[in-house]
Structure 1
Amino acid sequence: MEEISDGDDLFELGLVNSLFALQLVQFVENEFSITAEREDLDINNFCSIDTLTAFVLRKLSTPTEPPLGHGHAAD
């Protein structure tokens, strides 16, 4: 088996199909306690180790809930 690098496109290499991609999304959501929104379901987020890592890091750094209040101290 040929070695792959973190930047190789797993779909282009034929290592991943659409069914596996759905399983991968579910695994990533469960493993990192994140939610892949509709706009996140872009093959470019999941086609390589590098793009998947960037996706997870981006989701982990994005607040999941808006901050409470309007930036003013509580009365």
Structure 2
Amino acid sequence: MSTGVDNGQVEADLAAFLNERTGEQWPGDRDLFADGGLSSLFAMELVVHLENTYDVTVAGPDLQLANFRTVTAMADLVQRLREAR
């Protein structure tokens, strides 16, 4: 479990995870949905990955598409959830 990681490191870790799972590079601003990087099943796997890796809970209003559209958006979500604890 990662703790105390800055937003840039979260972005790098998420990009590496996505690269490993999809075989493609995912810069911070690349739209995962528009570019075919995420299916609905993989999106759920990604939620579980964020929760397990960064010790956050993604629920309710945080499950909106905008929070998962890009690597940067997901890193921002992780930071926001950590700060809310």
Question: Above 0.5 in TM-score?
Answer: yes
TM band (smaller chain): 0.7 to 0.9
2:38 aligned residue: 16
Q: What is the CA RMSD across the aligned residues, in angstroms?
A: 1.6
How many residues matched?
Answer: 63
Matches within 5 A, 1:62-73: 62-63=84-85
Cα 1:61–1:19 shift into 2, 3 Å? same
Q: Equivalent of 1:36, from 34, 41, 58?
A: 58
> Greater Rg, structure 1 or structure 2?
1
Q: Deviations over 1:25-60 (max 9, x none)?
A: 011001111111111100110111100000000001
Distance 2:54 2:25 in 1: 26
Shift of 1:3: 4.8
TM-score (structure 1 length as normaliser): 0.76
* Unaligned stretches of 5+ residues in structure 2: 1-22
Question: Could you say which structure has the higher helix fraction?
Answer: 2
Shift of 1:5: 2.1
Alpha-carbon displacement from aligned partner over 1:3-40 (angstroms, at most 9, x marks no partner): 54210111100111110000000110011111111111
Cα distance in 1 for residues equivalent to 2:26 and 2:42: 18
Taking CA–CA contacts closer than 8 Å with sequence separation of 6 or more, which of the two structures ends up with the larger relative contact order?
Answer: 2
The change in CA–CA distance for 1:4 and 1:25 in structure 2 (over 3 A counts) is: closer
User: Aligned pair 1:7/2:38, yes or no?
Assistant: no
Return the alpha-carbon distance in structure 2 between the equivalents of residues 49 and 43 of structure 1. Answer: 12
TM-score under structure 2 normalisation? Answer: 0.68
Identity over the aligned pairs, expressed in percent? Answer: 32
